[in-house]
Structure 1
């Protein structure tokens, strides 16, 4: 069950209170909406989460992308266009750990993801690749934003793909950027 209320702050700008209730799930962390900035760190039966969404601070830089540093732009462009031509129903994604994150490194950075996969399903893949225990939280960012878990990878790709044709995502064990997408 979810409730959503809209309020205004002292400057008259809207802020939203999003409350999510998950009942009967022993380990709710993988199922919670990723725009919620508060995650349980241990298994619980009932989780009540509150989120006050206010203006986000975009001053934090996204993790330095080592893939971009290792490969020149022209090579990345040609590779992504070749991939898109060969696999039109797939999305080329680069996944890297956010700087200063205490979460394990991922063994593979490049992924060819089915276009109809949701962000939540892809986060599950990332979680398995880094062998993250189920009670630990993981946050996935696209351009310093937490994408909605129900969003399709194809939609996120079209909105956020880089000039080289890849979708760049970073992950962290904590909400380091403090921003989200609605």
Structure 2
């Protein structure tokens, strides 16, 4: 027995599968602007007519597009998006968020700042988990704090060079 939730999930999976090809996504994007003849779609998408026919058939089976004949002489066909066909792409039964908790570890004020910014942008209540600053970490054993280097000065055109040791701290 297939429940209503399973049927919706299968429908969403079929929609995603139908849209999984970049050419089909371009077709849908083009049709969002309005109906189009297959020749117009082939040009817009950049695929040959036989490949376009395959992609349209996949989209038709998924219920995303439909074909209609022209009103005037019924000779030209047009492709259009089925109204509401893309509505099922996103899960509709997501639980609503009732509150937000910001937890920032080893930081003195980030969670308070995040909660304050959230409260300004949303009506959903937000709180901070508090502040517990981290203890200062000792420098890594390989990180020098002071180094000695030499500055060498060349005096004139001769080859003699005077070097002076210099301490650099950071």
TM-score of Structure 1 vs Structure 2, range by shorter chain: under 0.3
* Structure number having the greater strand percentage: 1
* Structure number having the greater helix percentage: 2
- Structure with greater contact order relative to length (CA < 8 Å, sep ≥ 6): 1
TM-score (norm 2): 0.24
Q: Which has the larger radius of gyration?
A: 2
